[in-house]
Each structure stands twice: as C-alpha cells, then as structure tokens.
Amino acid sequence: MNGRSVVMRRGLAASVALLLIFLAAWQWGPGLLGVPSFIVPSLSMVAVEFVHAWQVNHLLFHTSVTIAEVMAGFALGSLLGAVVGYLLGMSPTAEFALSPYILALQIAPKVAFAPLFILWMGFTVYPKILVAILIVFFPVMVNVLTAVRNVDPDLINLARSFKATRAQIFWKIEFPTSMPPMFAGLRIGSTLAVIGVVVGELVGGNMGLGYLLTFGEGQANTPMVFVSIVMLTAVGGLAYLAVIIVERHILHYLPARGVRGDF
C-alpha cells in the first residue's frame, strides 16, 4: 500500500468520524443545552419533516427545479465568462476599455438585480438563471484572463517564428495553458451558481428550494427550513463534485499532487 492510499484512507476515516460527531451533536446537543426545538430542531425532527416534505410538499419537484436552474445558470455564466476572459486576454485594448464596466457590474450587489429581473420577466425561471449567470461570470472570467496574460511570451514568440497563425497560437498554447486556472474558476462558480439561484427564488419565486425555504419561514416551520438548507447544500456539493470529475477527465495529463509526510 503506497503513501497516497494510506493518506486517503486516513482522510476518509477522519471525515466519517467528524460527520458522525456532527450528527450526534445535532441530535442530542440542542436538548442538552436547553435550546428550544423551534430554534434548532433535532436531527430526528428534520428527518421526519424531510419525509413529510417529500410526500406532501413536493420536495423532489422543487429540488429538480433548483437543479435545472443551477445547471443553466452555471453553464451559461461559465461560457460567457470564459469567452470574455479569452477575448480580453488576447486584446489589451479591449481589456482596458471594458474592464471598468465589468468591474462595476461585479461590484454592484447581485441581490439588487433579482427584483429588477423579476419586474422584467415575471415569476419565471429566467430571473433566477440570470442572477446565477451574473455571479458565475466574474470568477471564471478573471481566472481565464489571468491565465492568458501569464502565458510564457517566449512560447508565443517561438510559435510566431514558425509562422503560426493567431488561431494556432490560441489553440496550441493559450487555450491549453488556461485550462487549469479556468477549472479553478469553475469550481468556485459551481457553488456560487446555487447562491444566485436561491437569491432569485427568495426574492420572487413560486417553485424551487428557495421558495420552499421561504414557505417554511412563513409557517414558522424551522425543520422545513433546515430541510431546504440541507438540500441546497447537497445540490451545491453535487455541482462541485461534477466539476471535479470533468476536470480529472480533461486534465488527466497533469501530474497527481504529491503526498507529504505527517508533521
């Protein structure tokens, strides 16, 4: 058994142990500390509410709506961010001209856009997807732009000396070099997409986990709120895991990270 396998086994065992400790603390901690159930419900109460929401409140439907919105917002935001990042990276003039406006769009709070989008498009899925696009766009764009800007100029000059066209330089040098930083931005964007969708559903939604969370709040049903939070966490975790799986398949040529010994 090599060192990497040992470290992975230890990490998995520690992770499972922490999860069991957390679940036990969630189940019995509030009661031991005298915390009322309407503030922090026990794990068993949340589990009962989960079954009720699944059977009565259409939890599966609302989860599927949120997943679809997250996938659409993440895909479109990532594509837009990558395209703009490549264009700005290859054109210093465009970067100088457009950077102030892109920065202003990033600085503006995304929550403020959600009511505006709802006024424009009504209580549909489109406002939620647009908010997710805005949130995902910037980290992907910045990572791609930085990667293109940091390409070794000697490689580009060497390619030009062999009469390489601009398209060949992009596809053979700049694009492959930018892939690892772009996937780093995609990892961030996969979790931010969930936040963007939930913001839209909270502001004005009639379906989705954000709506279910608001519905539970309106009924003072704390277990339902916890169920919604758990499901949103699961959706974000699955999105992040999906990016990692795609990254490992595409960037399989990169060397695996080394394992250090214990301190």
Residue 78 has a pLDDT of 94
Nearest Cα to 211, choosing from 47, 41, 66, 51? Answer: 66
Do the Cβ atoms of 207 and 69 come closer than 8 Å? no
Nearest Cα to 74, choosing from 128, 12, 26, 9? Answer: 128
| Position 236 pLDDT exceeds 70 | yes
Residue 76 has a pLDDT of 95
| Position 257 pLDDT exceeds 80 | no
Sign of the Cα torsion 133, 134, 138, 144 reads: positive
Distance CA 4, CA 218 (A): 49
pLDDT digits (tens, 9 = 90+) for 48-96: 989 988 888 888 999 999 999 999 999 999 999 999 999 888 888 887 8
Nearest Cα to 111, choosing from 200, 228, 233? Answer: 200
Distance CA 96, CA 77 (A): 22
Topology (CATH level 3) of domain 42-250: MetI-like fold (1.10.3720)
Specify the higher pLDDT residue, 253 or 212. Answer: 212
Residue 230 has a pLDDT of 92
**Mean pLDDT, residues 175-190:** 90
Residue 133 has a pLDDT of 92
Domains of the chain, residue spans: 1-35, 42-250
Structure tokens at 87: 């264009």
pTM, rounded to two decimals = 0.85
